[in-house]
Structures are given as C-alpha cells and as structure tokens.
Structure 1
Amino acid sequence: MSGVEDDDVCLRADSLAALRAFLAEREAATAAAAREAEDGRARLATTEDWELSQFWYDETTSTRLAKELLRVAEDVWQARGREGRVNIACLSCPSMYKALRSGGLPEYVSAWVFEYDTRFAVFGADFVHYDYKAPLNVPATLHHVMDVIALDPPFLNADCLAGFTDTVHLLQRNDTPKLLLCSGAVMLPHARRLLGLRPTREAIGHADKRLQNPFALYVNYDASPLGGIDEEAEAAEAAAAASSAGCTA
C-alpha cells in the first residue's frame, strides 16, 4: 500500500471516530434534555400557586379522571368505526393532564393542556397558553377539532365559567362534544345553564385539604360509570332556587 493510500485509510478512520463521537454526544444531550423535562413535569405535581387559585387533585382523583377521559375517548373512536384521531383538551386542569400523559396515550389519541401558568410549557407543543379572560385567543389549528374537553375553572363564579364556555364552543369539533367539568357544587345551576351539564356522584378530592369548597364532576353524557347522576343535588338546587324565587316574588 502506498503512503497516499495509508493516509486515506487513516483519514477515513479518523472521520469515522469523529462522527461516532459527535453522535454519542448528541444522544447524551438529547437524553439529558428529556430527563430535565421529565424532572420539570414531576416537580409541577407538588407546587401549587395559590395566587392563581391552583389546587391539584389528589393522586386517586387524578388517576380516575384520566382513565375516564380515555374511556370516553375510546367510546368516540369506536363510534367512528375505529377510524381517525380523538383529540382531548384539558382546560386549566394540568394535574389531570399530567396523569393522562403519565399512563401513556393510545395511538389514536392526542391531548393538549391549556393553562395560564407558563411552567407547564415543559409539555412542549402540547402546551397552549390560555387565559379565560381572552377565551377566543386560541391557535387556529385547534379550532373545532376537539372531541373530549375537560375543564376546571380557577374561580367559582358564572363569569369565569362563561369565559371557559366560549372556549369550549371554539374548540369543539361538532355540536355534541364530550364534556367533563370539575367545579364547586355551588356551580350546578351555571354548569347546567351554560354547558348543559349534570352533576355526577363521582367524588373529587384535592391534595391540599385546605380547600374547603365541596366539588363535583359534571358531564353531558351517560354518567353510569361515574356512579350516575346526583339527582339529590339537582333536587336540592331546584328547591333552593324555588325558595329564592318565592322570597323575591
């Protein structure tokens, strides 16, 4: 072999070694970034911002709600003949979204978290910065594509829920989206009036026991898997409304 050929072999060997080193370094950097992102997501589970009225569900509730979202998503998919994708939007319920993601999503499901708190940008392209005071400020690519929508407004008043309602109407794919609302028991009349929802018997627990307001899960579909409709709560609300109307007559 000539000296020139020897130099070519050495050059190729050196180039291959450099390429391998570069690829190994890039793989290590990617793995480190993934670990950092996962660590960031894990930390979010333990840090609430009370100024934003954030109260995480307890682990049992988060897991149950995530399973319910997937159960409903499967129902939608089956009704379509097991074709196409089922899109889920989680509005201001990041602990539910985190539980949904942690268990792994079926290949036919996509999910987004809509949240004011930018810490949740660790979820990357699946994070949408959201403010219920600007309810229509949503990327156009997400308009009228959502099949299942979960929401947990931060404040227990009709104006706040009305903002979320505008967003729901913008996101829903058709006139019959599957809706799940976690909110205070006092929101029953507003949930019914604005979104056509009914209270279920499903218990909603929060990790921080300092949240004293009783909560309920409201839906607009068959509530049998959730213990059924809480008809007692509906009757009590109707009686209270009648009594209030009588007092003002």
Structure 2
Amino acid sequence: MSDSEDDGPPQLSPHALAALQEFYAEQRLRADPGADEKYNIGIIEENWLSQFWYSQETALRLAQEAMRAAGDGGRIACVSAPSVFQKLRELQGEGASACIIFEYDKRFAIYGDEFVFYDYNKPLDLPDRIAAHSFDIVVADPPYLSEECLQKTSETIRFLTRAKVLLCTGAVMEEEAARLLGVRMCKFIPQHTRNLANEFRCYVNYDSGLD
C-alpha cells in the first residue's frame, strides 16, 4: 500500500463505474455462464487490488453473525471486509446506515458516508465523524498475512469497537490475534471464491454463533 491516498486506484464517476461493472459481468458470463453466481456479491466485484472475496455462503454467514451480535439498531464496522459489507447492505436493504466499510479500495466511495478510506499503515487516521468505541461489533480481515499488518489493524479495531470483534485471518496468526485482541478461534471455517494457499479461520472475543 502507498502512504498517499492519491496513489490509489483510478477514480471514476458512479456512472462510469456502473458501466465498467456491467462490462465485466458480461465478459464473465460469456466465458462461464455460472460466473455471476460464483463471484458477484454486490455492486463492486473482486477484480482489482488482488482482493479475495468470500464465497456467497461465507459472506452470508458472517453478515448474519455480525447482525446478530450487533443487535437491533446496532452499528457494524467492516474493516477490509468488502464482501461482508455488501452482503450486510443486501440483508438490511438499500440505504442502510448501520454498517460502515473501512477500505483502501476507493471504488467503495460510491456508498457515500458508508465508506471511509482506510490504509492499515495509518491505523488511527480516521475522519472526525468516526468516534472512538462507536461500533457494537467490528468485522475485520487484515489485507496481508503478517504480524505487522495484524498489529496495525488491531489498533483500528480496538479504537472502533465497544467490545465485540469478529476477525478473519490465517490460522498461523492464532497466537498473535489472541495476544492483540483477546480472540479465540471458531469452529466455522470461511471459504473464498478463490483457493488460498494458507488455512483461513475466524476468531471472536464473545459467545458467537460460529461454533
């Protein structure tokens, strides 16, 4: 990642973004009639920045768990977890304001105030409108499998959450995740649309529905 927001992906108007996404969808469907079901989670799809989208089933399970944990009227923060964010919006309906995505991919700016540009290298560089401990649960998926990335992302998580954390990262990060966030590994194993080289797991610090 760059230290400058200006080094992010090209900025397109919402109209241009919609046209581009339609083009990608048409190309996928021509090559594979089942591609739309496999890859399309929401308006924005897995094609830039080497992102790894969750499968439809995993995105749904994590979104449902986040809603359950947050409770009625609760606030949910998705830190580098775009497919969960889009599934949450789908479940809650258009215009839902209970969920905010913290994401480096500026395509998500089409969501307006529900988007916060986020660079894990600057874990507390957040807009003033984001108050400390203002989210009932934080769903986080650090973009890189490294101790440095987890440490910095954990700073963001601790700032945002009132208490609950749902972390998705590699199994090799179990001890570091427990040390930084007091989380434990769940039985539920998340799946992605692409096969990952490293074993991936979920971690929580509360009584969840993922065990």
TM-score by length of 1: 0.65
Structure 2 portions without partners, runs of 5+? 1-13, 23-40
More contact order relative to length (CA 8 Å, sep ≥ 6): 2
Other-structure match for 1:193: 179
Report the number of matched residues.
Answer: 177
Q: Does the 8 Å CA contact 1:86/1:108 hold for their aligned counterparts?
A: no
| Structure 1 unaligned blocks of 5 or more | 1-31, 78-84, 228-249
Shift, 1:142, TM fit: 1.1
Offset, 1:36: 4.3
Bigger-Rg structure (1/2)? 1
What per-residue deviation string (whole Å, max 9, x for no partner) do you get for residues 6-44 of structure 1?
xxxxxxxxxxxxxxxxxxxxxxxxxx97x949x688452
Q: Displacement, 1:121?
A: 1.1
Aligned to 2:169: 183
1:99 deviates by 0.6
What's the CA shift for 1:107?
A: 10
Equivalent residues in 2 for 1:152-191, closer than 5 Å: 152-173=141-162, 177-191=163-177
**TM-score, length-scaled by structure 2:** 0.76
C-alpha contact (below 8 Å) 1:62/1:95 kept by paired residues: yes
Q: Deviations over 1:88-142 (max 9, x none)?
A: 1000000110011111259996110000111111211100000010111011221
Equivalent residue, structure 2, for 1:118: 106
1:47 is aligned with what amino acid?
N
Aligned ranges 1:69-218 → 2 under 5 Å = 69-74=66-71, 77=72, 85-104=73-92, 110-144=98-132, 145-173=134-162, 177-209=163-195, 211-218=196-203
Secondary structure in structure 1 of the residue aligned to 2:203: strand
Distance 1:195 1:185 in 2: 15
Q: Which amino acid aligns with 1:123?
A: Y
How far the C-alpha of 1:68 sits from its partner, in A, is 0.6
- Structure 1 runs (4+) greater than 3 angstroms displaced: 39-43, 105-109
| 1:59 lines up with 2:44 in the alignment | no
Higher helix share: 1
